Amino acid sequence: MTDALLTVEDLTISFPSDNGPVPVVKSISLTVAREIVAVVGESGSGKSLTGRAIMGLLPCRAHVRASRMLFEGIDLQTLGPAGWNGLRGSGMGLILQDPKFSLNPAHRVGRQVEEALLLHTKLSARERKQRALDMLARVGLPDPERVYASYPAALSGGMGQRVMIAAMLINRPMLIIADEPTSALDRGLQDQVLTLLRSLTEEFGMGLLLISHDLQQVSRYADRVIVMRQGEIVERLPASELAQAQTAYTRGLWAARPSFATYGTRLPVFEDSGRPS
Amino acid sequence: MTSAVSVEQLSISFPSAKTRFTAVSDVTFSVEEGQTFGLIGPSGCGKTTVLRAIAGLNTGWTGLIDIFGAKLEPGRKITGDTRRNIQMVFQDPYSSLHPRHRIAHILGEPLKVHGAEGIDAAVGIALDRVGLSPALAGRYPHQLSGGQRQRVAIARALLLKPKLLLLDEPTSALDVTVQAEILNLLNDLKASHRMTFILVSHDAGVIGHMCDRGVLMSHGRIARALDRAALSELTEDAVEAAAWDETPGYRGN
């Protein structure tokens, strides 16, 4: 794809162990254009590690190798600390699972939302505050002035996640990586936050890499879906064709969500999921 | 038909800055033996508060709670056989297991309290029953995955062979695939131990899969009683919509 924002080819991530390096992501390739791509898999499938490798956020003992890792023409594998600092929060942003842990409890919301502007722009304090208030309103927070002056402890989970999104989007990045952005929220709030992410992605013309374990849920928001299992990509398909997925694993992942129709039956589980017992 | 649990005109309030905040008012339902009964509703509707009153974790309530023919009394701890009969599994397996105790200690404690013998063997059997290797007894909770921890929490709840298991969002902190394993396990154990379940959830899919009957709660009251036919029409949107219903008794902020 020529209009890809992000191109990853042959990405392998391994961790050292007593018995030599253990590969946890095995030679995967993916591209993200101005679209929503979901990476789906169960715990331990390597989906979060993939997202973090793209952001250069893996611990240094992790060994990352790829034949190509390009973002907007920048070779991510050659970036030093200064290069990464210029890119994170400006060109690309990461939204994490739980606002309770990813917002700093000791700083007011306003300061955290503005931080990317402080680091990456030359706006004055007043302009920064105005942009932050606009952004807080854009993500659907009522009374942005009050939220701006609040500490994270005063926010509910859904509000906290909206603040996270505002902080990530304030600098209009090209690519957002959202790692389970809603799994700490109620189901109703999950839909609200995903709807918000989708509409902002379209409005700002961004690419969004949405990492999740819930196939049915992301299929309603993503354009394309990549299914990972034990470090490998087992299937890639348009979200609209998920119900007709080819591999047994994808079909199992699809059917694992309980519903009224599965009453009285056993839900499908994967016996050889590679979890420690 | 035998009623395992009957709750009549249950009201629960908490002191707040100005007046008492009424979290639950006038809740009445009954659960038949062997059924899975759902308490469904959006955040803050009072469903967990009802469950905690039945569990005896909150004794500041008024009304009537009858469990297998024994009446609970407000303001008093549950003791004796009734205490053994009611056990609870909490939402978050990361915070419901003591982080500094090994699994053997966590599972051995209820047995020790009730003066049981042969605790080590019983712990091994308890782990095996929930599909875990008895070798995990020597580990700490942080050395287990989320699904394994929730299995430990279920094993702990089953140790005293309860007749009523209270499940407070038992899978909402888990992956979809791990959730499937835990729901299967709960249904297997319910059949083999002849238990009655009360399941609290905001997930219409989980409720539809597990429950024989239930009630939809909104602002501390029962908005609707649900049988299987009504459960078939329960959607995520309907659960969420209950949060916005105007209810006269609602005194939220």
Query: Number of residue pairs across A and B with CB atoms under 8 Å?
Result: 87
ipTM confidence score: 0.81
Residues 164-183 of A with CB under 8 A from B: none
Say yes or no: B1 contacts chain A, CB-CB below 8 A: no
Mean pLDDT of B113-127: 89
% pLDDT > 90, chain A: 62
pLDDT of residue A114: 95
Contact call for B147 and A259, based on CB within 8 A: no
Option in B146, B181, B232 nearest A260 (CB): B232
Where do the domains of chain A lie?
Answer: 1-91+174-184+208-259, 96-170
Mean pLDDT of A131-160: 90
Q: Is the pLDDT of residue A276 over 70?
A: no
Helix axes A109-120, A125-138, angle to 10 degrees: 120
End-to-end CA distance of chain B: 41
- Contacts for A199-203 with beta carbons within 8 Å, 24 or more apart? A200/A138, A200/A139, A200/A165, A200/A169, A201/A36, A201/A176
Q: How far is A98 from chain B (nearest CA, A)?
A: 12
Contact call for B177 and A256, based on CB within 8 A: yes
pLDDT averaged over every residue in chain A = 89
pLDDT averaged over every residue in chain B = 88
Task: Count the neighbouring beta carbons within 10 Å of the beta carbon of residue A81.
Answer: 8
pLDDT of residue B87: 94
Give the chain B residue nearest A212 (alpha carbons): B175
Question: Cα(B183)–Cα(A77) distance, rounded to whole angstroms?
Answer: 43
Option in B208, B234, B243 nearest A258 (CB): B208
Q: Is the pLDDT of residue A89 over 90?
A: no
pLDDT tens profile A38-58? 999 887 789 999 999 999 999
Please give the domain boundaries of chain B with CATH numbers for all domains.
Answer: 3-241 (3.40.50.300)
Q: Say which residues have a Cβ less than 8 Å from residue B76's Cβ, sequence separation at least 6.
A: B59
pLDDT of residue A216: 84
Question: Cα(B178)–Cα(B197) distance, rounded to whole angstroms?
Answer: 20
User: A1-91+174-184+208-259: which CATH architecture?
Assistant: 3-Layer(aba) Sandwich (3.40)
Q: Is the pLDDT of residue B14 over 90?
A: no
Q: Which of B174, B177, B185, B240 has the most A C-beta neighbours within 10 Å, making it the best mutation to test the interface with A?
A: B177
End-to-end CA distance of chain A: 42
pLDDT of residue B173: 77
Mean pLDDT of B166-189: 90
Contact call for B176 and A263, based on CB within 8 A: no
- Which stretch of DSSP H or E encloses residue A52? helix A47-54
**Partners of residue A258 in chain B, C-beta under 8 Å:** 179-180, 183, 205-206, 208-210
Pairing of strands A207-212, A36-40: parallel
Confidence at A1, pLDDT banded by 50, 70, 90: very low
